[in-house]
């Protein structure tokens, strides 16, 4: 990677260089867009993910429609599960369902550490196609789930309220837990490296479930594994965004685990988060996704509030505090983008 100034606002902000505030949206491809729903009538989600041409097409849909500063490859954090030996499906209205969740040492011993270049090669091929299709307009972000979020999906078998099974494994079978986390981490790190080799210019690690953990449990059972993945991600030379939700109690620890930019959710004021994180990291966020359902006037006001809290400091990437919801009116994204573009700190 060249150390010289890059022309893209998004990459400049990742490196905390001066730039106008970049904006993109987590889950910017998806059901809130009519063109996506049309394609989904003909293909399942997994078909879209596994066909590089379709994945490229879906990645490009929001780029054609909105004035965005980054694309994110259309894929899913759960794709590594099947090659690990943990098949799942997306059940209608329920989200992911894993038929045989991991509970015992034997379950974990059966996991198959695989080579993502082979088993997830379709994601890397989709990245190659998308980089070509983007023609340098905006950088492409590659991603994966964080070890905790993926491991707890595999143990819980789907969404969870108390993470009882995952925490039970941590507390009662720490060796089994650590083995699971190490196996997952190795696969994730190699998957991120392959995404950069394929042309991703930035990476994001999604720890969507990390808010379930106390700071003590995060430090003891999770941080070392996240750190290992983030260190290998950063060694590729591209900027890395480390995102979690419900992290008001663990923000400093997330930073300790690594990342050039920390993604924060909407439950904490952005300036407070940044004060705690310090000036040596960028911050991504953090508008509540549900505000996209509010009248334009209120939406504008809340976007401005986030921007003012960032205060034009180098290193702010405007985003939501979590993914776009399917009910979102697309015009709301235009309102957000126009407000970000017009902002003068």
- Choose, by CB under 6 A, the member of 6, 15, 20, 31 that binds ligand CP3: 31
- Tell whether residue 35 is a contact of ligand CP3 (CB under 6 A): no
Identify which of 28, 119, 116 has the alpha carbon closest to the alpha carbon of residue 74.
28
- Tell whether residue 29 is a contact of ligand CP3 (CB under 6 A): yes
Query: Smaller CB distance to ligand CP3: residue 66 or 74?
Result: 74
Q: Of residues 189-208, which lie at the interface with ligand CP3 (CB under 6 A)?
A: 206, 208
Query: Smaller CB distance to ligand CP3: residue 39 or 294?
Result: 39
Joined tokens for residue 193: 């490296």
Q: Which residue has the tokens 């419900």?
A: 246
Partners of 97 in the beta sheet? Answer: 89
| Residue window 139-168: x/- pattern of binding to ligand CP3, with contact defined by CB under 6 A | ----x-------------------------
Active site residue 27: yes
Looking at the chain, how many residues does it have? 345
333/103 Cα distance (integer angstroms): 42
Q: Of residues 61-80, which lie at the interface with ligand CP3 (CB under 6 A)?
A: 72, 74, 76-78
Active site residue 9: no
Query: Smaller CB distance to ligand CP3: residue 176 or 273?
Result: 273
Q: Name the minimum Å distance from CB 204 to ligand CP3.
A: 8
Q: Name the minimum Å distance from CB 108 to ligand CP3.
A: 21
Q: Tell me which residue has its CB nearest to ligand CP3.
A: 208
- Choose, by CB under 6 A, the member of 9, 11, 16, 30 that binds ligand CP3: 30
- Which of left, alpha, beta for 102 (phi over 0: left; psi -120 to 50: alpha)? beta
Q: Which of 12, 16, 27, 232 is catalytic?
A: 27
- Choose, by CB under 6 A, the member of 95, 295, 311, 345 that binds ligand CP3: 95
Of 28-36, 192-200, 261-269, 306-314: span binding ligand CP3 (CB under 6 A) = 28-36
CB atoms within 10 A of CB 32: 21
Q: Which of 40, 117, 227, 300 is catalytic?
A: 40
Query: Smaller CB distance to ligand CP3: residue 27 or 242?
Result: 27
Query: Smaller CB distance to ligand CP3: residue 90 or 343?
Result: 90
Active site residue 37: no
Query: Smaller CB distance to ligand CP3: residue 30 or 315?
Result: 30
Instruction: Annotate the chain with three-state secondary structure.
Output: CCCCCCCCHHHHHHCCCCCCCCECCCCCCCCCCHHHHHHHHHCCHHHHHHCHHHHHHHHHHHHHHCCCCCEECCCCCCCCHHHHCCCEEEECCCEEEECCCCCCHHHHHCCCCCCHHHHCHHHHHHHHHHHHHHCCCCCEEEEEECHHHHHHHHHHCCCCCCCHHHHHHHHHCHHHHHHHHHHHHHHHHHHHHHHHHCCCCEEEEEECCHHHCCHHHHHHHHHHHHHHHHHHHHHCCCCEEEEECCCCCCHHHHHHHCCCEEECCCCCCHHHHHHHHCCCCEEEEEECHHHHHCCHHHHHHHHHHHHHHHCCCCCEEEEECCCCCCCCCHHHHHHHHHHHHHCCC
Q: Of residues 208-267, which lie at the interface with ligand CP3 (CB under 6 A)?
A: 208
Active site residue 67: no
Active site residue 31: yes
Of 27-35, 80-88, 122-130, 300-308: span binding ligand CP3 (CB under 6 A) = 27-35
- Tell whether residue 320 is a contact of ligand CP3 (CB under 6 A): no
Residues in touch with ligand CP3 (CB under 6 A): 26-31, 40, 45, 72, 74, 76-78, 90, 95-96, 143, 206, 208, 322-323
Q: Mind telling me the catalytic residues?
A: 27, 31, 40, 76, 153
């Amino acid at each position: 990677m060249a150390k010289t100034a890059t022309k893209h606002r998004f990459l400049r902000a990742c490196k905390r260089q001066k730039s106008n505030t970049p904006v993109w949206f987590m889950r910017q491809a998806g059901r809130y867009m009519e063109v996506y729903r049309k394609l989904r009538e003909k293909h399942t989600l997994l078909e879209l993910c596994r066909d590089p041409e379709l994945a490229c097409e879906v990645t490009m849909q929001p780029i054609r429609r909105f004035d965005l500063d980054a694309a994110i490859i259309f894929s899913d954090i759960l794709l590594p599960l099947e090659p690990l030996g943990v098949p799942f499906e997306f059940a209608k209205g329920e989200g992911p369902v894993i038929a045989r969740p991991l509970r015992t040492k034997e379950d974990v011993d059966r996991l198959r550490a695989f080579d993502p270049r082979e088993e997830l090669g379709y994601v890397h091929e989709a990245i190659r196609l998308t980089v070509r299709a983007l023609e340098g307009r905006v950088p492409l972000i590659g991603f994966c789930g964080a070890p905790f979020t993926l491991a707890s999906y595999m143990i819980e078998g789907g969404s969870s309220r108390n993470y009882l099974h995952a925490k039970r494994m941590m507390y009662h079978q720490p060796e089994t837990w650590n083995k699971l986390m190490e196996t997952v981490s190795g696969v994730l790190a190699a998957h991120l490296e392959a995404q950069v080799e394929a042309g991703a210019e930035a990476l994001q690690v999604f720890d969507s479930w990390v808010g379930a953990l106390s700071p003590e449990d995060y430090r003891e059972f999770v941080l070392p594994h996240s750190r290992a993945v983030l260190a290998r991600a950063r060694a590729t030379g591209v900027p890395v965004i480390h995102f979690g939700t419900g992290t008001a109690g663990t923000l400093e620890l997330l930073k300790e685990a690594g990342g050039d930019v920390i993604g924060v959710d909407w439950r904490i004021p952005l300036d407070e988060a940044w004060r705690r994180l310090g000036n040596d990291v960028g911050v991504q966020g953090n508008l509540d996704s549900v505000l996209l359902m509010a009248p334009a006037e209120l939406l504008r006001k809340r976007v401005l509030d986030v921007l003012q809290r960032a205060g034009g400091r180098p290193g702010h990437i405007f985003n939501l505090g979590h993914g776009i919801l399917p009910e979102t009116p697309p015009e709301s994204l235009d309102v957000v983008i126009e407000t970000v573009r017009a902002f003068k700190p």
